[in-house]
Structure 1
Amino acid sequence: MGGLLGMIPFSASPVSGGEICDAYRVGLGLGVDNNGGPFLTYFAKTRDGAPADFFPAEAAGLELLRSTGAVAVPEVLAVEPDVLVLRWVDTAEPSDAEAERLGRDLAALHETAAPHYGTAGPLYLGPVPLTTPEPPVDDPAGWPAFHVEHRLLPLLRMAVDGGGIGPGDARDVERLCERIEEVAGAPQRPAVIHGDLWAGNILWTGDRPHLIDPAAQGGHPEADLAFLELSGCPRWDRVIGAYEEVRPVPGRRERAPLHALHHVLIHAALFGGAYGAESGETARCALRAAG
């Protein structure tokens, strides 16, 4: 490494947390870092063999979330086909106050209208590309069919083809897809959602939580809530209590299995094992809740 860059002190250390990408804390010896130390500190993530639009899609998702003014996200500093660089965010233990802030922020995010379900550009959930029909669906009454055709069934086919789900559990997922109109509840206009909001995609800072790794899109807000609860969000009671003070969601508990299924299915498709049986049971729970 020559020239000026070769004269800059540089450090990189791996950080944990992702299942798909390799991630690093990177320090450059210019100026001071976020804590007043001797480095500028960044977060960088890479993925071998990533599609050319993979990291640009994530950067676009972060920008979509940021543009709403409702939630905090790390600043995108650079994006290339093989790397995404963000400003480093220091973390702290979550508090009741910060959990309540997350609830209010998510309620504000979900009040932000999207032009249609899905996105205008590429979109990934983990390593799996998600599709948006052409023309896109903007009618709230069209969400159940959109969700079946462009979210549930593609992942179910992946899980079946890869041996990640058994025939009985796959059939119960299909039964839910056939009856989704009975389960979906009242029509919900397309809203901006994070799209992959499990507990590990929240950075607790001691002040305001930051959201990372989005599959941001026009979608159904209850998807964010269902996956956050399913994944064991810290201080969940505080989060959902503050959320529903701002944005009540009658019937949310009964519909939670429907909205969690997409995220369980992708784990069945990618990892198999117990996730296939969990997918079937999640579908059965959704059907039982519908009566």
Structure 2
Amino acid sequence: MTAAPSSGVFRKARADAPDGFFAREAAGLDWLRVPGGPRVVGVSDVGPGHLDLERLSPVAPTAAAARTFGAALAVLHDAGADAFGAGPGPAWGWSGTADGWFGPLDDPLPMPGGAWRSWPDFYAEARLLPLLDQGRARGVLGDADARLVDAVCTSLPRLAGPAADDEPARLHGDLWSGNVLWADGGRAADSGQSPPPGAVEAVLIDPAAHGGHRETDLAMLALFGAPHLTEILAGYQEVHPLARGWQHRVRLHQLYPLAVHAVLFGGSYVSETRSLLAELAA
């Protein structure tokens, strides 16, 4: 994120961005604004090659703010989606396909969207199998990896356990710790409320918003170590208790983002992905 010409905004820019890239992100941010949900970074302008966002003043996170964020995240997830794979539509300023992107600004991977009735089908057909094709095209994944991916996809109804029948949640979709900014200013920008002095609030940025499984966002927070994660989870469960055995499914939901890192960056991410695939396929 780089400073825009105006001192009041930050500008994300890429002259050769994929068609609709920034408009889809802006629509996703708008889709994530729900009453009682987390604060979402404000959008001031969007064009084919840029997205202008409100300037935030970062502060250190606190345990209390993390617990509040967890509760608000549960409210966001409970806002739901039309289907697994569905995303923001015309009501949120997006008239393109349900597809999106996942990954860094300079090399985002296409992320299929659509409408799936079950999460196991969605995870297999819209996440793991397309990513396998992307990995093979880049020479990162091979035949042995394909056999493991197929085995995991076949086992998804069992691996999902009692959470397999969850309704589609409204996900941020790329909720690693770097996409949760801790800022002062409370909720004034969203609701006109005056926050108490020194208030700390989590602010969502850089989404890959879509309808998915609520455990996916939580697993992403754990993948790279969100601060005060225990408090985030506690706040979440006060609003929406997670299905039995959710702790054992964290690695399942981390498979896709970990494999994305393998495809994009190679290195140790490849061996970590293969190890996780073997673990889940066993």
TM-score (norm 2): 0.83
What is the aligned partner in structure 2 of residue 146 from structure 1? 122
The structure that has the greater radius of gyration is 1
What is the aligned partner in structure 2 of residue 160 from structure 1? 136
SS, match of residue 179 in structure 1: helix
Q: Which moved more, 1:192-201 or 1:144-153?
A: 144-153
How much has 1:226 moved relative to structure 2?
0.6
Cα-to-partner distance string for 1:112-142 (whole Å, 9 max, x where unaligned)? 1211112253411121222224xx22x3xx2
Aligned pair 1:114/2:91, yes or no? no
The partner residue of 1:214 within 192, 207, 213 is: 207
Mapped partners of 2:36, 2:43: distance in 1: 15
Q: Tell me the number of residue pairs that the alignment of Structure 1 and Structure 2 aligns.
A: 250
TM-score (norm 1): 0.81
What is the aligned partner in structure 1 of residue 251 from structure 2? 257
Mapped partners of 1:90, 1:100: distance in 2: 20
Identity fraction in percent? 39
* One-letter identity of the residue aligned with 2:205: I
SS, match of residue 204 in structure 1: strand
Show the 5 A alignment for 1:108-257. Answer: 108-118=75-85, 119=87, 120=89, 121=97, 122-126=99-103, 127-133=108-114, 136-137=115-116, 139=117, 142-165=118-141, 167-186=143-162, 187-206=165-184, 207-249=200-242, 250-257=244-251
Does the 8 A contact of 2:34 with 2:79 survive in 1? no
What is the aligned partner in structure 2 of residue 20 from structure 1? none
Does the 8 A contact of 1:57 with 1:123 survive in 2? yes
Gaps of 5+ in 1: 1-22, 29-39
Does the 8 A contact of 2:36 with 2:72 survive in 1? no
Aligned pair 1:49/2:16, yes or no? yes
How much has 1:202 moved relative to structure 2?
0.6
What is the aligned partner in structure 1 of residue 189 from structure 2? none
Cα-to-partner distance string for 1:9-54 (whole Å, 9 max, x where unaligned)? xxxxxxxxxxxxxx212363xxxxxxxxxxx421100124211200
Show the 5 A alignment for 1:22-33. Answer: 23-26=1-4, 28=6
Mapped partners of 2:35, 2:261: distance in 1: 29
How much has 1:280 moved relative to structure 2?
1.8
